[in-house]
Amino acid sequence: DVKVTQSSRYLVKRTGEKVFLECVQDMDHENMFWYRQDPGLGLRLIYFSYDVKMKEKGDIPEGYSVSREKKERFSLILESASTNQTSMYLCASSLPRVAGGLSNEQFFGPGTRLTVL
């Protein structure tokens, strides 16, 4: 069974702490993504990576950074956590997008519910 795993299901941190969220996929996918999901705001893309050591900003990168040192692992870093970063964080992976409509469906992890106090 293909899998995307995230390091924690629930996490509680204090304002100002540095927070690491880890994501690992076992499908040898080139692409990896970090999203946050908030009620009423849907799913929003924070950062993505299409190759090792490559990263691209998504729609809401402010306050976050990422690291991709190995193909299977994509880390999301909150340099100084704030209360407005309390959210559900979802990691996903996929094959590269190709022309012709072959599905590059994204496979999601179970999510990490982060609370910043």
Partner 1 sequence: DAKTTQPNSMESNEEEPVHLPCNHSTISGTDYIHWYRQLPSQGPEYVIHGLTSNVNNRMASLAIAEDRKSSTLILHRATLRDAAVYYCILRMYSGGGADGLTFGKGTHLIIQP
Footprint of partner 1 (CB under 8 A): 4, 30-31, 33, 35, 37, 40, 42-45, 48-50, 56, 58-59, 90, 92, 94, 96-101, 103, 105-111
Burial 10-35 (b: 16+ CB within 10 A, else e): ebebeeeeebebbbbbeeebbbbbbb
Closest CB to partner 1 among residues 16, 110: 110
Distance CA 51, CA 111 (A): 22
Closest CB to partner 1 among residues 31, 87: 31
Q: At its nearest, how many Å lie between partner 1 and the CB of residue 110?
A: 6
Q: At its nearest, how many Å lie between partner 1 and the CB of residue 24?
A: 14
Residue among 58, 71, 57, 86 nearest 28 (CA): 71
